Amino acid sequence: MATSEENGKKEGTNLLGSPTFTELGNGRFKCVETGHEVLSKDIPSYSHSKKCRLGLIDFALSKHKPPLNMFKQDPLCRSKLICKLTGDNVNKSEEHIWKHMSGKRFLNKLEREEEEKLSSQGMEVEEGLQESKSTDDGRKDRKKKKKNKNKEIDEENLKESKSAEDGGEKDRMKKKKNKDKAIAESISEVRKSSDEDSDAEEEDFWMPPVGKRWDHDDGGDRWGSESESEQETEDQNVIDGAAGENCKESEELSSRYFASV
């Protein structure tokens, strides 16, 4: 009885709490952590036994339950644990585990570990902020570059369209000029050919030589003297008289012929 009271007064006693049991029937229960079966009346005494407390420590080690997640089993000794933080060996008992965890060496090491962790997290956060900032700056730069590039493309397209319009206008003016020139050349050629044809016609027209005529007219006096015209009149009268006599003779012969018939 005195022993149980002393155990209750020890620091670190019941560090892992009470075990859990499942009812099997017929007044029997099974410990979940150790697998040991006991009667209902033996549960309190078994819960404070060394076997049960060691079973609780082994179960917490296997499941990495706090505070045993800071320890691991010593491979050289079954009754020893190794602290992961300080590397010290600790007896496998709740009292020694509690004393080690409440000691200055463990607490100082734990504080430094937490500071380093916080600083690393702060650095990570700061790096993350810097990365996000640089990412934002990069996005801004990309947007700015894209905007400038689009602006340059628009300016180039505007210049090309303007140059194309100027070139098209120049081509149209040039074509119109060439067309007018061709029309002028055609008109000039037509006029030239017409002048050549008129010249050829004038050259083909026959002109008599100077001083000679086809009717042998020497250009003298075209009208005879009065005596010559009287002579010609007399000659014409003689001719006309002779023709009249011949006509009378013909009529007389004709009448005689028809009379005889």
- CB of 23 within 8 A of CB of 32? no
Q: Which of 3, 16, 21 is nearest to 93 (CA)?
A: 16
Residue 234, pLDDT score = 62
Write the single-letter amino acid at 252: E
Q: Is the dihedral of CA 89, 92, 94, 96 positive or negative?
A: negative
Q: Where are the domains of the chain?
A: 7-102
Q: Is the dihedral of CA 140, 143, 146, 147 positive or negative?
A: negative
Identify the segments of the chain with pLDDT beneath 70.
1-9, 124-126, 135-138, 161-168, 186, 189-261
- pLDDT, tens digit, 9 for 90 and up, residues 224-253: 445 555 566 666 666 666 666 656 666 666
What is the rounded distance in angstroms from the CA atom of residue 163 to the CA atom of residue 161?
A: 5
Q: Which residues pair with 38 in a beta bridge?
A: 29
Residue 15 has φ and ψ, to the nearest 5°, of -65, -35
Tokens of 239: 């001719």
For the chain, the maximum distance between any two Cα atoms, rounded to a whole number of angstroms, is 220
pTM of the predicted model, to two decimals? 0.45
